[in-house]
């Protein structure tokens, strides 16, 4: 029997990789009058339901999805949350 789990995946550029989008957001926020903003990083958030026998199997499946489609392991890191 399989249950449905909620998966939340967070994908960010790895620490050493220049985050151009983050830099653009940072400059725009400074320009809008928020000078106290620093170290902006922009990432993706992917939320979905997944059918699996248990939470462990759901996590294994979702990690495989990250490596094959959701993240680019060369430059991005990901975190998986199963609920």
Task: Name which of 33 and 74 has its Cβ closer to a second copy.
Answer: 33
CA dihedral 71, 72, 78, 82 (to 10 degrees): 30
Phi, psi (degrees; rounded to nearest 5) at 73:
-60, -15
Parallel/antiparallel/unpaired status of strands 3-13 and 76-82: antiparallel
CA 35, CA 54: separation in Å to the nearest integer?
47
Sites for a second copy among residues 30-69 (CB under 8 A)? 32, 34, 36-52, 61, 64-65, 68-69
Q: Total residues at the site for a second copy (CB under 8 A)?
A: 35
- When the beta carbons of 35 and 74 are compared against a second copy, the nearer one is 35
Applying CB under 8 A, which residues contact a second copy?
Answer: 2, 4, 10-12, 22, 25-26, 28-29, 32, 34, 36-52, 61, 64-65, 68-70
């Amino acid at each position: 029997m399989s249950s449905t789990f909620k998966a939340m995946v967070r994908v960010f550029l790895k620490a050493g990789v220049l985050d151009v989008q983050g830099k653009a957001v940072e400059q725009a926020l400074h320009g809008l009058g928020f000078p106290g903003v620093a170290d902006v990083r922009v990432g993706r958030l992917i939320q979905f339901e997944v059918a699996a026998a248990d939470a462990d199997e759901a996590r294994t499946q979702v990690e495989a999805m990250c490596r094959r489609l959701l993240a680019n392991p060369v430059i991005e890191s990901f975190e998986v949350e199963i609920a």
